[in-house]
Amino acid sequence: MNTTKTTFASGALTLEGVLRLPASDGPWPAVVVCHPHPMYGGDMYNAVVESIAGGVARRGIAALTFNFRGAGSSQGAFDRGVGEVADALAAVEFLAAQPGVDRSRLGIAGYSFGAGIALDAAEDNHDLRAIVSVACPPAPLNDMVLHQINRPKLFIQGDADTIIEIPMFRFLTQRFTPPREVEVLAGAEHSLRGYESEVSKLAADFFARCLQ
């Protein structure tokens, strides 16, 4: 793949990102990957985020990781999820405008805080045809508005993740409008340390099926 650092606008702010383009000729599907909570050290270099982006790029899907406002060298300050949804939507538009990207085949993924942002962005932008939620906090999973998203969704959670018990996770994800898929990783904690490759493969396989 070809990997380059880049910047793009989110309103009046400039955000930094990393663009991964497949080695094959386009047009390619494309996926934005959103990082964990910036107030707890989350950024685009998180191992799970990088693993997902690298995995989809190796499957012939362009990928963009980026830092939300106030994270890394991105301008602005943390905005409690409101501005971060705007950042994710701006990232989708930037990626869709890249030469070689097929804007009719777009997806979004997110890990932890980024999973909730990805779901919110998909609710706003119906051009996003597939969504991957990894270790999502309970609040977005319990949002009745997000339950109405009717495009393919994959929910990945570790059964040792203490932010939500698996019976509740299964109950909440079943409230989402089909199509939906659920994967529970035995022994995985919220950090998903040691499970990055498994998450990457699940996400890449899902996007390849839904966007190729």
The average pLDDT across 130-136 equals: 98
What pLDDT is stored for residue 77 in this prediction?
98
Of the candidates 173, 186, 83, 187, the one whose C-alpha atom is nearest the C-alpha of residue 136 is: 173
Contact 123, 101 (CB under 8 A): no
pLDDT of 99 reads 96
Range 39-57 burial, b when 16+ CB lie within 10 A, else e: eeebbbebbbbbbbbbbbb
Predicted pLDDT of residue 212: 84
Task: Decide if pLDDT at 168 tops 90.
Answer: yes
Q: What mean pLDDT is predicted for residues 72-99?
A: 98
Q: Which CATH superfamily is domain 2-211 in?
A: Alpha/Beta hydrolase fold, catalytic domain (3.40.50.1820)
Tokens encoding 135: 């270790």
Query: What is the value of pTM for the model shown?
Result: 0.98
Q: Is 61 helix (H, G, I), strand (E, B) or coil?
A: coil
Per-residue pLDDT for 176 more than 90?
Answer: yes
pLDDT higher than 90, residue 210: yes
pLDDT of residue 1: 86
- Please check the confidence at residue 134 and state whether its pLDDT lies above 90: yes
β-strand pairing of 28-34 with 2-10: unpaired
Domain map (residue ranges) of the chain: 2-211
pLDDT of residue 208: 98
